[in-house]
Amino acid sequence: MLTRRQFFANSLATVAGASLAEWILSPTSHASDDKDTVKVMQYDDSGQKVGPIRVKKVRKTDDEWRQQLTPLQFEVTRKEGTERGFTGEYFNLHDKGVYRCICCNNALFSSDTKFESGTGRPSFWAPIAKENVRDTNDSSLGMRRTAVSCTECDAHLGHVFDDGPKPTYLRYCMNSASLKFAKQG
């Protein structure tokens, strides 16, 4: 017969052992605490989902980014700049394909969700995968907005607004300078 003290000690040991086993056997428990990697959804250029993957965060110095990017791309993606409306490469593009991050090639948007917003910038009602973009509060320019960046490399992409079309009613207003288009087929 167990004493109350032995019963509680055995119960505590059982719970602790089960929790430890679950933590050890869980493939995501260690990775979720890893600040050097992120989970993204991979897509091929036809827009087909390849699957989730953990990738190492892309971190480069400003000089390394300047070597890779044009001055406008650097200003927009690394310094949170904005290109002038109706001047970007993709605002009036209607081809089928995938819009990728200019900095790291992460799939960001599909042409299937692109729509004409009248802003002179490529606009989408949803990202290709929630995991691939990150929203943050932006109070610059004296107003409250939601900035959108690439999960993999932290490139500034543009802003999201709640005045878009169905089904999400969102308008992801992106800078062409932050994107590169991979044409389907």
Q: Which of 36, 14, 12, 39 is nearest to 133 (CA)?
A: 39
Contact 121, 172 (CB under 8 A): no
Pairwise CA distance, residues 100 & 108, whole Å: 5
Catalytic residue positions, numbered = 173
**pLDDT 10s digits, 17-50:** 554 445 444 444 344 457 899 999 999 998 999 9
**pLDDT 10s digits, 87-134:** 999 999 999 999 999 999 999 999 999 999 999 999 999 999 999 999
Residue 180 — left, alpha, or beta (φ > 0 → left; ψ -120 to 50 → alpha)?
beta
Task: Please spell the DSSP secondary structure of 113-180, one letter per residue.
Answer: GEE--SSSS-EESS-S-GGGEEEEEE-GGGS-EEEEEETTT--EEEEEES---TTTT-EEEE-GGGEE
Q: Three-state DSSP class for 25?
A: helix
pLDDT for 5: 62
pLDDT tops 50 at residue 60: yes
